[in-house]
Amino acid sequence: MDILLIIASILAPVPVLHMWLHALLSFWKKWPLAFYFFVFFLWLFSFWFFLKIPAVLLFEPSAFSSFLGIILAIAGFLLMGLSLFTLGPKRFFVWAVLRPQEVMQKYIASGIFKFIPHPSYTGILLILFGIFILSGRTYLAGAFIFAVSFFPTAIYFEEKELHERLK
């Protein structure tokens, strides 16, 4: 299996996961482990879906686009890592949303969040775009366009829920 396909399968569904998190939040709060099972099965579906898409090339990557793609992907992984480091695992993996009573609630404005409001989402977009221009494959262009299309909605619901939780 291709590593780019694995990366796309894991990252592309993230905005959908966050939209379903907020759409069914009262259910997930009652059954928090059900959310993680949902995530697991959505990722399994994502792997299956990406395996079914032919790896058609939109363009033949040049040495420059390959280099730039690697740089963007590394930058994206660094942003995601900095986000995880700043938030901690309970916030990064949404346990603070599912079980707010178990995690001290606060607005994070330190670390990477001083400079970028959603570093993990930005990192995902950089990774998806980077691996697209690294490979030129159509399914990676689709994954990037999908994420760009759905992240604004996911961010809206996340910000709304965060402000309500912090009241």
> How large is the average pLDDT for residues 72-93?
97
Note the pLDDT of residue 124. Answer: 98
- Within 8 A by CB and 6+ apart from 36, the residues are none
**pLDDT tens figures, 44-78:** 999 999 999 988 999 999 999 999 999 999 999 99
pLDDT at 167: 79
Q: What is the 3-state secondary structure (H, E, C) of 71-137?
A: HHHHHHHHHHHHHHHHHCHHHHCCHHHHCHHHCCCCCCCCHHHHCCCCHHHHHHHHHHHHHHHHHCE
What is the distance between the alpha carbons of residues 119 and 84, in angstroms, rounded to a whole number?
9
